[in-house]
Amino acid sequence: MTIIKPELLLESLPDGMYATDRERRITYWNKAAERISGFSGTEVVGSRCSDGILQHVDELGQQLCLGRCPLAATIEDGGTREAHVYLHHKQGHRVPVTVRVSPVHDSKGAVIGAVEVFSEDNGIHDLLRNLSEARREALVDELTDLGNRKSCELTLRSRIARLASHGVPFGVVFLDVDHFKFINDAFGHQVGDHVLLMVARTTERSLRPRDVVTRRGGDEFVIVLDNASPSTLEEIAERMRTLIEQSFITHEGTRVSVTASLGATMGVVDDTPDTAIARADALMYESKESGRNRLTIG
């Protein structure tokens, strides 16, 4: 009989897993944790959660690793916890994950650390990536792998038709990265592209499965929210804004981050793709004129 070593089992898990001591110093980091976060074990093991590697935030953008951390609470009281958070990927964007934390006890029952298992909250945002090559060229933005202008138009026509025939509401968000020209001028276009990818991935992963984010061009994105009420529109748009603000990449030791200005509106029956986008675009400019890094709804 072949005996499988415990560490081989841990390395085979599809979910990310890491362990810490009582000071929250990371002592173990499995392969799935590397895949989900982008950070290798050699980069992480030996560091503390508060050193700013994963930098978990909640939907309000509140930093968890410096205060309201489920793992720290588990070490303190020995309870188990589950939470939905957004970790910081090595490439800069935010990744939605479900974390489950359990205490680790010594032979006398004292808590000596904790183990956290985390898994991606996957939606269906990779639908366009599975299209044939010809369809991809027509509908997919080359840099971000999101839908392009044509894809956005087709999505909006479909949502307008559903609203007219079945009364299914939808929302439109126009998102523009603040001061993006400064990023290109200060760091170069390659870093600018990485920032756009960071914004695209963070935005994409802040949505629900049937919502769609598209790149209109440059630093502009249009997001179509399916079956959305006004309150849902505000909640999701504000979550996008907050998570972008909390995302960053590192270039030659410098932290590079951006904010975004957003305009959001509900679709109406007599809309066309152009009128819905124009309305959201105008609201986005109100956000710009009001100081940027904010959401305007109308």
CA distance 201 to 149: 17
* Residue in the block written with tokens 């001591």: 21
Q: How many angstroms separate the Cα of 41 from the Cα of each of 29, 30, 101?
A: 5, 7, 19
* Annotation says 219 is catalytic: yes
Please pick, among 219, 270, 271, 281, the residue that the annotation labels catalytic: 219
Give, as one character, the DSSP assignment of residue 268.
Answer: -
Instruction: Name the strand (E) or helix (H) holding 153.
Output: helix 149-166
CA distance 132 to 88: 32
Residue 52 is encoded by which pair of tokens?
């700013």
CA distance 256 to 273: 34
CA distance 158 to 136: 19
For Cα atoms 255, 258, 259, give the angle at the middle one, nearest 5 degrees.
Answer: 145
**Biggest alpha carbon–alpha carbon distance for the chain:** 71
Q: Are 117 and 20 in contact (CB under 8 A)?
A: no
Residue 190 is encoded by which pair of tokens?
């390659």
CA distance 243 to 223: 15
Active site residues: 219
